[in-house]
Structure 1
């Protein structure tokens, strides 16, 4: 004859199941893949606001930055990776580490704020990087550039934050066509990708940046709408990013939605599902 489980035991088993599931999810996220939503337009058109991807943490090995951060302001939860794995921070090394390659799209932790950023790796340790008249120079050599027409998008609030895009043909009214110049940029080593511009901006001419040992220089593909290594940390930028701050490489978009919520199925971008990131 079957025995009926006591209510107290059922509650305990449910709690244990939830705890085990959270532990498994935490281990999976720490060691293998971290989900990442694209919140801004700094990597257009490679990545659009509302793209969802998994970051491959096995690409470069593991450091304190591999530990997950859990931030749920609504419930007062603010657990930083440093709170969990801060003991391993400071020597700029990695376990099972491997070097990133120029042109990789990388998620990393901001050296000061600890926020997660996603940018393209432009400068390796020892490189000289400069932008002159909107053209990127690496070690005094201009990168390859090929005109590729215009990038067009709707002038409308984008993503959960409802941010409007910046346009080369500004001013543009809501519902109008927002245009940006598009080029194909080819980095040393052969990686090619699209970049966007909206005309001459302050960061289209910079000084020479020398990338220190153990650090990397990052830029957004949407060159005139990106907070990246061209701006020093003391001025609110990214500056040089230490090796230990790399989280992983972004390889493929899994899902994409142009709306303010992923539940708005009519805003899903089916052509971007499972799209490789170049």
Structure 2
């Protein structure tokens, strides 16, 4: 029986070498999964390989415990941090019991492993993102743990997308404002789309604590604000043609409030942050630190949901992204 097929037969026995190989495969692929861009073609391949290696590892782990003469319940110790390290080390060096023989196994245990494998494989279609800055506030706030799904079609106006910066390759999250063929301009802080102002309705001021974000920056406020005090911003509800209505923020007159009209070429998007005066987006060229016009080929997915806030912000649990 080969190394691959043996992992599917939980009744059998696995020696030290087979278990070490299975452990090395799963660790290597999990590390690789953390390094590749989420929702990319490479990331999809690594996710599927990681799922397959997980199935191999747990199958050989169960067989290895039987070969050592240990109960299969020890297998679940491999899911516990620190305990798993000690257990893997023991399983890698301990000799087989001379009287070890194949035997039955728990069907429920194998079912749980298949659930774990399916969850890992599902990373082909989704990826989590931790929001480091307030450039998309209030839609996405610093510390939000957000979920994005793979893009199967071109994004529409108003969609909040994940894309890789054309120069740095870093992941950015912004809102799509202009599609190929559109003409986009900023005038007095208002979006002019194809010659027509995008309507904005007044909304109550929005505030957040004036404290550092995950990358050490502080929010910009309407007026000078002491650390820890409420940082106030003007807010408005903006509605794109045929798109959603969402909240945008303003802290006063800025250099990016007025831009020249840009016609979006084929295969590109014009994107903005909802926190208009605190966002490096398509208003700013790549040479000046912005993102410029974003190639459609760099769009990885669409942000769908905020799962929760790592900073404990209220109202962030299972919040749908507008």
Same fold (TM > 0.5): yes
**1:113 Cα deviation after fit:** 1.3
Which structure ranks higher in relative contact order (CA pairs < 8 Å, sequence separation ≥ 6)? 1
Aligned to 2:134: 41
Which SS does the other structure have where 1:174 is aligned?
coil
1:240 aligns with 2:293: yes
**1:24-39 residue pairs with structure 2 within 5 A?**
24=50, 28-29=122-123, 31-39=124-132
TM-score (norm 2): 0.66
Deviates more, 1:3-12 or 1:100-109: 3-12
Point out the structure with the larger strand share. Answer: 1
Separation (CA, whole Å) in 2 of partners of 1:257 and 1:181:
25
**1:252 Cα deviation after fit:** 0.5
**1:169-184 residue pairs with structure 2 within 5 A?**
169=223, 171-184=224-237
Distance 1:146 1:19, change over 3 A: same
1:163 aligns with 2:217: yes
Aligned to 1:11: 20
Separation (CA, whole Å) in 1 of partners of 2:14 and 2:200:
70
Distance 1:201 1:270, change over 3 A: closer
Aligned to 1:275: 319
Please say which structure displays the higher CA radius of gyration: 2
Aligned to 2:272: 219
TM-score (norm 1): 0.76
What stretches of structure 2 of length at least 5 have no aligned partner? 1-10, 34-48, 52-119
For the aligned residue pairs, the C-alpha RMSD in angstroms reads: 2.2
Distance 1:270 1:112, change over 3 A: same
Point out the structure with the larger helix share. Answer: 2
1:145 aligns with 2:154: no
Which SS does the other structure have where 1:272 is aligned?
coil
Aligned to 2:159: 104
Distance 1:12 1:276, change over 3 A: same
Aligned to 1:114: 169
**1:10 Cα deviation after fit:** 3.4
Aligned residues: 227
Which SS does the other structure have where 2:315 is aligned?
helix
Separation (CA, whole Å) in 2 of partners of 1:113 and 1:13:
35
Separation (CA, whole Å) in 2 of partners of 1:269 and 1:11:
43
**1:201-212 residue pairs with structure 2 within 5 A?**
201-212=254-265
1:160-208 deviations in whole A, cap 9, x for unaligned?
3232111001x11112221000000011114100000000000001110
Which SS does the other structure have where 1:42 is aligned?
coil
Which SS does the other structure have where 1:224 is aligned?
helix
**1:270 Cα deviation after fit:** 5.7
